């Protein structure tokens, strides 16, 4: 029994079944009482470090590699080496980030073709959305215009509506927007 404990087996029910076959006539409670101090003294079996959570891996993939902490860079390198599927996704995400930040809309179709040819099912719904509004996405990735000012006004109007606790009929909202 001590060999089984040293091997990391501390389940009293399992040990009771094994020694019962060998002729043990005592009760399971007696065995549990005997095992209690041995469990606390026994060394736990070696455990592997837990893999990082999905949220952390996603954050690593979505950030520029130069801005990652060295520990995070090492973790990302380990994950990418362990999973070629994730490595391919990371390459596609980095390529799209370069298209997005550099306003290289002319590379979009080549990127979509590369992702489709690489058969990345995790990116297929994203590509379907890009294809659905292809002209708008292409213009957004190419042209220098921004709708930031309009989005700011919409955000301000929504804040005014929230302040009015649902009493925002059109006349009152118009007065509040024009007077602010």
Residue with tokens 């990652």: 68
pTM for the predicted model, two decimal places: 0.59
Report whether 60 contacts 68 (CB < 8 A): yes
Q: What does the DSSP 8-state code read for residue 66?
A: G
The region that residue 51 occupies, defined by phi over 0 for left and psi between -120 and 50 for alpha, beta otherwise, is beta
- Residue 151's pLDDT band (boundaries 50, 70, 90)? very high
What is the spatial distance between Cα 35 and Cα 60, in angstroms, rounded to a whole number? 45
Task: Give the single-character DSSP code of 15.
Answer: H
| Mean pLDDT confidence for 147-151 | 89
pLDDT band for 108, please (50, 70, 90 cuts).
very high
- Rounded to 5°, the CA angle 147-149-154 comes to 95
Q: How many angstroms separate the CA atoms of 143 and 137, rounded? A: 10
Residue pair 163/179 in contact by the 8 Å Cβ criterion: no
pLDDT (tens digit, 9 = 90+) per residue, 13-25? 888 888 889 888 8
Question: What does 91-139 look like in DSSP terms, one character per residue?
Answer: HHHHHHHHHHHHT-GGGHHHHHHHHHHTT-HHHHHHHHHHHHTHHHHHH
Residue 18 CB coordination number (10 Å): 13
* Range 43-71 average pLDDT: 85
For 98, the token pair is 């370069």
Q: What is the DSSP letter of 67?
A: G
């Amino acid at each position: 029994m001590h060999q089984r404990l040293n091997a990391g087996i501390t389940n009293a029910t399992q040990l009771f079944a094994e020694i019962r076959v060998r002729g043990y006539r005592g009760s399971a409670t007696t065995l549990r009482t005997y095992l209690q101090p041995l469990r606390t003294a026994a060394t736990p079996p070696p455990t592997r470090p837990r893999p990082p959570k999905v949220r952390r891996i996603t954050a690593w993939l979505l950030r520029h590699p130069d801005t990652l902490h060295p520990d995070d860079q090492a973790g990302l390198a380990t994950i990418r080496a362990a999973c070629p599927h994730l490595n391919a996704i990371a390459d596609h995400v980095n390529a799209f980030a370069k298209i997005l930040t550099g306003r290289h809309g002319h590379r979009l179709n080549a990127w979509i073709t590369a992702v489709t040819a690489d058969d990345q099912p995790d990116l297929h719904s994203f590509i379907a959305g890009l294809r659905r509004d292809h002209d708008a996405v292409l213009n957004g990735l190419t042209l220098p215009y921004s709708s930031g000012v309009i989005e700011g006004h919409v955000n301000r109007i929504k804040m005014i509506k929230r302040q009015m606790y649902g009493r925002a009929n059109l006349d009152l909202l118009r007065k509040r927007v024009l007077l602010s």
